[in-house]
Structure 1
Amino acid sequence: MKPIIGITSNIDSAAHTLQNTYIQAVIDGGGVPFIIPTGVESDVQQITTLLNGLIISGGGDMNPHLFNEEPWPELGNVTPERDSIEMELVRHMLKLDKPILGICRGHQVLNVALGGTLYQDIVSQVASPILQHDQKAKREYQSHAVHIEKGTILESITTSDKIMVNSFHHQAVKDIPSPLVVSGKASDGIAEAVESTDHHFVVGVQWHPESLMQNSDQVSRRLFEAYMKACVERMAAVEYH
């Protein structure tokens, strides 16, 4: 049996959308992708019972009302219906201790779902000089370094104290709540990766490993392999129980 991996999707006025790279990464990792639309909050318990893992995909900005802030002028497009389903999915998956991988926006959703906050716009809200976090190169190319914290899940995956990543964001995690810890930072201090110390595998990364895999990036491949391995382990544990 292959693990069933839920992947959240974008929504606009006409369609739900999802980059194929997410789907391909799950298929290549030996899983079955299951795309989750908005508007199914009443069915989240059934959905999360079915899933063996969740990937919260990238996309637009989160509604700052979710972390008790008013919108800054630089806030981009928000989709409250997407915020709603993703927050519910994360909370249920955390209760079930099923693996979660948050990517870019998903990294931020994970932080907010656990009670954290975001920089709505790092350029206008971070006082110290920052790197270019919205790269002009193609998605599959690396842009800046991330320094990995020792003793973390991410270190065990990367086997390095520094990796190169791509970057497509203007928001970032700010106040990071327990049980999340920072597992990777950019040289300007922006938190680029978080993980839970209380769960089997709950990891958020600010970059897009699914895109880097298209350029044969081995660290990104190992990240997905570790995530899929955790999904298989939890699937086996649930079946045994």
Structure 2
Amino acid sequence: MNLSCFDGKVITSKDNPSVKLFGKLMTSKKTRMQYRMFPLEGVRLVFDALKSNAPVRRIFITESALEKNREKLEEFDCSEIDFTCISDELGDRISGTDKTQGIFAQCSFTERSEELGNLKKHGRYAVLYQLQDPGNAGMIIRTADALGLDGVIFSESCDIYNPKVIRSTMGSIFRIPVFHDIPVDDIFLAMNNAEIDTYAAVVDSRAQDIKNTDFNNGGGIFIGNEGNGLPTEISEKCTYKITIKMSGNTDSLNAAMATGIMMWELMKFE
């Protein structure tokens, strides 16, 4: 990749139109939806996106970061990416972290809604319904990637392109299929077409203990809102109800932790 475009061209003003757009993408879901783009920050996230051939459209890099990462950037064919060199001071201003690494990017949404009709037969999926916490969402995506799930599906949940979600995934957002803003009825239809049994994760002593659940034919596990769980109308639509039987001194788990346990059990039979 030719980086000569940086020579002598350093943006210092926060009022530069491209910089202003990046700032809005960092803070506004409305802007992200309007432009169908989301922001990345940090060496690991940006290079994970490049390694995964994600649709990166623009890279901002500070003078200091360019000096450190020039050789690494030149390993990639990024002829379709707009590169903008910014001052170190401007990098500090647009950063969403306490200590910036000086490299940022804008990436287009990965549109997967059409792929929902082609879920893997007897596949293994986590379905997050009305999940609201960005940290939980990002951790679940990262855990699903680590365990080898076929995908994560979001319905009526938080914005998966929120910078907090993206940071929490540690790059897994680029390595595992993630479906977002999918109507729940479409999910049940796709699961049925792919011959995937659906499992409602509930807090109910009458539900089947997940440790005794047979996932040999895959499954789609539905996880609900952090405070309220799955609505009755959703859990009743699922093939089975499952729960984590607890014998300690607590009766509930963090949503990301509970989902991680369930995904582990789901993948034991793969």
Does the alignment reach a TM-score above 0.5?
no
State TM-score, norm by structure 1.
0.30
When Rg is computed on C-alpha atoms for both structures, the one with the higher figure is: 2
State TM-score, norm by structure 2.
0.27
